[in-house]
Amino acid sequence: MSYLPSLAPSRTIDVSLGPQHPSTHGVFRMNVTLDGETVVKLQPVFGYLHRNHEKIAEGNSWLAAMPYTDRLDYICPLTNNWAYALAVEKLAGIEVAERAEYIRVITAELTRLQNHAAFLGFVLGDMGAWGTALMYAFREREKILDLFEALTGARMMTNYMRFGGCRCDLPSGWLENTRKLVDGFPAFLDEMEALLTGNEILLARLQGIAPLTPERAINGSLSGPVLRATGVDYDIRKVDNYGIYSRFKFRVPRGSVGDCYDRFMLRVLEARESVDILKQAIAGIPEGPIVNPKAKQRGFRPPAGEAYGRIEGPKGELGFYLISDGSDHPYRFRIRPPSLINLTLLEELCLGTKLADVMVILGSIDIVLGEVDR
């Protein structure tokens, strides 16, 4: 017997979060059903940035798809370039010039550094540390974008890789500047960690939020840092040994419970490993041509067949599935977008959490809408 007056049956509220919302990292919308502040249903809505990239690429020549890949995950254009170049090289059996392999590793790991730096800033912004942390992160990111600009002519729309190599050689002094930046980068991570990692609010907002088991993560096709945060040892740089990653010594950091804190800290640890790879690659880069002279770029017609090429992008497994019918444009051009597929378990992660945690969970997955919607 209760002494309390009988309460009205609990009423749920539907909230449409986004597409114009500062914490959705772009034009992403979630239809959330709330019971009080607790999420009882969440439906992601996609397509606000859809321009059918795949169709555009199928109507253009093989080389003309390269600049379009910049616009997928526009935070990390150079890894997008590499994934596409790698798939075409697999399809047509093209060897890559030795010096270009080193340049690819250097640019890809720089991309990872600036992606993870930006990630730290964004997630802290999602938790309410609005502005300051992002400024610190973007200060580092700007330095790397300056290097990209010196190398490719553009900060973000780089269009740098070519089949069998790269578009242009390193400008004079670039390697020296990169070495300085790489040597100084751990200081930024130390600073970030000293300021934040032990912070009580940060721990309260991240630890134990949305934990994930490795079985669910694998079944949900999660990849990259989100998968490794659950404790799965799977890094495509180690598994596929694509490019020349087998020559470098680096570790694959792993989480243990797969909560937001693991996903957050994993990026910090990965950035430290990237610094190690960068140091080895800068020390080992040889002289030589930057593109395989036998590889054709314009008027390129790979023989009929198909190939799936993938790399470990900063956000996860970025793959390109290409079918050639022997003509000058792809018959089928499919992108495996890690940002979209990592959202598969978003509802599962968010159920039962508070509305304010949804932002943090979404931030900890790390998506870019240019890639989600393509």
Partner 1 sequence: MTGVLEAIKAAIPSAGVEFLKNPSPCSQDSLVVAANDARVVAEFLRDSLGFDFCSNVSGVDWPARKVKVTVLEKETVEGVETEVKETIEREVPGYLEVVYHLFSIAKKSGPLVLRVRTGDRDRDVSIPSLTPVWKGADFQEREVFDLYGVRFDGHPDLRRLLMWDEFADHPMRKDYVAPDDFEYEPTPHDEILVKVKAITEAA
Give the footprint of partner 1 on this chain (CB under 8 A): 46-47, 50, 52, 54-55, 90-93, 216, 218-223, 232, 234, 239, 302-310, 317, 319, 321, 323-324, 332, 334, 336, 340-341, 343-345, 373-374
| Residue count of the chain | 374
State the minimum distance, in angstroms, from the CB of residue 314 to partner 1. Answer: 17
CB nearer to partner 1: give 166 or 341: 341
* Parallel/antiparallel/unpaired status of strands 305-313 and 165-166: unpaired
Shortest distance, CB of residue 253 to partner 1, whole angstroms?
A: 17
Cβ proximity to partner 1: between 193 and 325 the closer is 325
The least CB distance from residue 111 to partner 1, in Å, is: 21
Q: Where are the alpha helices (DSSP H) in the chain?
A: 53-59, 65-69, 77-92, 98-126, 132-152, 174-192, 200-206, 214-219, 225-228, 236-239, 260-284, 338-341, 346-350, 355-365, 369-373
User: What's the min distance (Å) between Cβ of 193 and partner 1?
Assistant: 30
- Select 67 or 305, whichever has its Cβ closest to partner 1: 305
CB of residue 151 to partner 1, shortest distance in Å? 29
Q: How far is the CB of 215 from partner 1 (least distance, A)?
A: 8
Side-chain half-sphere of 310: how many Cα atoms within 13 Å? Answer: 21
Helix axis angle for 98-126 and 260-284, nearest 10°, is 150
Q: Would you say 90 or 99 has its CB closer to partner 1?
A: 90
Phi/psi at 167 (5° precision): -75, -45
Q: What region, left, alpha or beta, does residue 120 occupy, with left being phi > 0 and alpha being psi -120 to 50 degrees?
A: alpha
Burial (0-12, 13-18, 19+ Cβ within 10 Å), 104: buried
Q: Quick one: 140 or 317, whose CB is closer to partner 1?
A: 317
Considering the complex, state which of residue 125 and residue 313 has its C-beta at the smaller distance from partner 1: 313
Give me 347's structure tokens.
């509802």
